[in-house]
Amino acid sequence: MIVANEPEIKDPQYKIRREKLIGKTLEVQSAFDEALTHFTFQISDQSTRSLFEAQRSDISTVYHQSNLNNLRILQQTMWDFERLYRVLNDVHRRHKQEISRLLRLFFALSFELKAARFPPDDLRSRMSKAMEYVTASRGRVDRKQFPFLAAMERYPDIDLNDPILSDELLIDILVRGIVDEDEIRSSIDRTVSQEAEPAWRTVWHWFDRSDKEFARACEEMEKQFFAREFHVTGEILHVFGLRLFLVNAGVLKKDRSDVLSESKQYVDELYDMKRLEPLQSDEANGFRSFGYGGLGVFENETSEFVELATYLEEKRKKAAVDQHPERALALLKEMETDPELYVRRICLTSSSDNWYHRIPILASIKPETFVSSLMQQSPEHQRLIIRAFKSRYEHGGLEGELASEKPWLTDVRTRLLGRADCLSPIGKYRLLKLVEANIAPALGK
């Protein structure tokens, strides 16, 4: 008797020997029905347990279509779905058809991910994968190169591109184990009630909307575009990408170059009106939006879109710099009233307060004003504030993003050394030691 998982036996001699020795082959099958009953009974949430009982047939279909024969994956998927279903309210649960869609989509994608049949990143662009499927169905793509397409064929009755849960939500739940109640409810709300759906979202969901709904949304989105009504960066990028897509689809009777120039003009006008979102410190390493609001941005890998995203980023950087003088005054006030908060603002820490650790905000404060304010602090607070310079610049910051602060810091050091002569002997000694230990090294002195 040989007990083995034959597909994993790679030895070419095995097949030859097997034919000579093995008279009958029995395939071990998992007891799915009994296992599903047992797993359902173990679910602690009554409403989820009732749903599994009602959707038993759907769960069975998806399980057998997966061809995994893996009860462990089935049980883990049921646990994951329970966490998701718990956060829905009765209004959501009354929509039986949508809940059935949700369950089938969730189980299919969970089976595929847990079996490592396609990478989690494939969930970030499900719509583009749907387009690849259309191309592949015409024989122009080697399907072996696109594992997500194989999954789409494995579950012919399930739309793996179903937007009932956004790409980011699916990644959060299935990959990261994060269940964001508000985002999940909002995503389901948009599915069961499309009345309040923004026009650009309706255009994005062109695959699932009627021609009438799509045409009305396109017209509205264009009106909003030329009225400069999109101010949120993620929405702006969505609209840029959608307009490029509409040119390809023949809906927008323009050239891609026209869309490019119109979009840059949009950014310029928003900047001039001071309605462009300034680039935040956590985006300072370069901003590329491949998704926003749970939806992947169309055309995000095309040269036109990359050029637009780069142009928008540069303008947002400029908008942020324009705010430096005003923000610098607020930072100086914080230094005077809450030195510890000031330190968290300018130094890299695990706190959400470190807004300016990569932004040369200090250069917007007059050195004489900074020094005067510093010298009014207690010795304890002076030590805290001056020591922050060492932390801020210890990794070569003055040679990189903070280079514009080098002349400013040089001036501050000179003024502090000048003030030291007016202090008591111990006060002078204390200040000189602080400057020597925390400012001079950053300046190479």
DSSP per-residue letters across 217-259: HHHHHHHHHHTT---SHHHHHHHHHHHHHHHHTTSS-S-HHHH
Count of CA atoms in the C-beta half-sphere (13 A) of 107: 30
**What is the number of other CB atoms lying within 10 angstroms of the CB of residue 225?**
20
Separation CA 282–CA 267 (nearest Å): 21
Q: Is residue 14 part of a domain?
A: no
| The pLDDT value given to residue 143 | 57
Q: Is residue 21 part of a domain?
A: no
Q: Is residue 354 part of a domain?
A: yes
In which band, very low, low, confident or very high, does the pLDDT at 167 lie, cut at 50, 70 and 90? confident
Q: Where are the beta strands (DSSP E) in 244-393?
A: 291-292, 295-296
Give me the residue label for tokens 């993003």: 401
Are both 369 and 261 inside the same structural domain?
no
Host domain of residue 281: 199-320
Q: Is residue 89 part of a domain?
A: yes
Are both 221 and 295 inside the same structural domain?
yes
CA angle, 16 then 21 then 26, to 5°: 100
One-letter identity of residue 398? L
Q: Dihedral of CA 221/222/227/229: which sign?
A: positive
Over residues 419-432, mean pLDDT: 94
Q: Is residue 20 part of a domain?
A: no
Are both 179 and 290 inside the same structural domain?
no
Are both 355 and 305 inside the same structural domain?
no
| The pLDDT value given to residue 160 | 86
CA angle, 425 then 430 then 432, to 5°: 95
| The pLDDT value given to residue 139 | 53
Are both 34 and 171 inside the same structural domain?
yes
Over residues 207-227, mean pLDDT: 93
Q: Dihedral of CA 257/258/261/262: which sign?
A: negative
Q: What is the pLDDT of residues 351-361, one digit of tens each?
A: 778 888 888 99
In which band, very low, low, confident or very high, does the pLDDT at 286 lie, cut at 50, 70 and 90? very low
Are both 187 and 203 inside the same structural domain?
no
Q: Is residue 411 part of a domain?
A: yes
Residue 291: strand, helix, or coil: strand
Are both 45 and 145 inside the same structural domain?
yes
Separation CA 337–CA 341 (nearest Å): 9
Phi-psi region of 396 (alpha: psi -120 to 50; beta: other; left: phi over 0): left
Lowest mean pLDDT among 123-132, 243-252, 265-274: 123-132
Share of the chain above pLDDT 70, in %: 91
Q: Dihedral of CA 258/259/262/264: which sign?
A: negative
| The pLDDT value given to residue 291 | 72
Asked whether the predicted pLDDT for residue 164 surpasses 70, the reply is yes
- Copy the structure tokens of residue 223: 């009106």
Are both 76 and 174 inside the same structural domain?
yes
- Copy the structure tokens of residue 292: 């926003």
- Point out the domain boundary residue: 137, 165, 192: 192
In which band, very low, low, confident or very high, does the pLDDT at 153 lie, cut at 50, 70 and 90? confident
| Total domain count, the chain | 3
Are both 168 and 57 inside the same structural domain?
yes
Are 319 and 361 contacting, i.e. CB atoms less than 8 angstroms apart? no
Q: What is the pLDDT of residues 362-399, one digit of tens each?
A: 999 999 999 999 999 999 999 999 999 999 998 777 88
Asked whether the predicted pLDDT for residue 409 surpasses 90, the reply is yes
Q: Is residue 11 part of a domain?
A: no
Asked whether the predicted pLDDT for residue 284 surpasses 50, the reply is no
Are both 41 and 133 inside the same structural domain?
yes
Asked whether the predicted pLDDT for residue 243 surpasses 90, the reply is yes
Nearby residues of 414 by Cβ (< 8 Å), 6 or more positions away: none
Give bridge partners of residue 296 from the DSSP assignment. Answer: 291
Are both 50 and 184 inside the same structural domain?
yes
Q: State the helix-helix crossing angle for 71-86 and 32-42, rounded to 10 degrees.
A: 30
Over residues 58-85, mean pLDDT: 95
Are both 164 and 251 inside the same structural domain?
no
- Copy the structure tokens of residue 227: 């009225």
Nearby residues of 398 by Cβ (< 8 Å), 6 or more positions away: 405, 406, 409, 442, 443
Alpha helices in 87-124, H assignment, sequence order: 90-93, 96-114
Q: Is residue 126 part of a domain?
A: yes
Mean pLDDT of the chain: 88
Asked whether the predicted pLDDT for residue 431 surpasses 80, the reply is yes
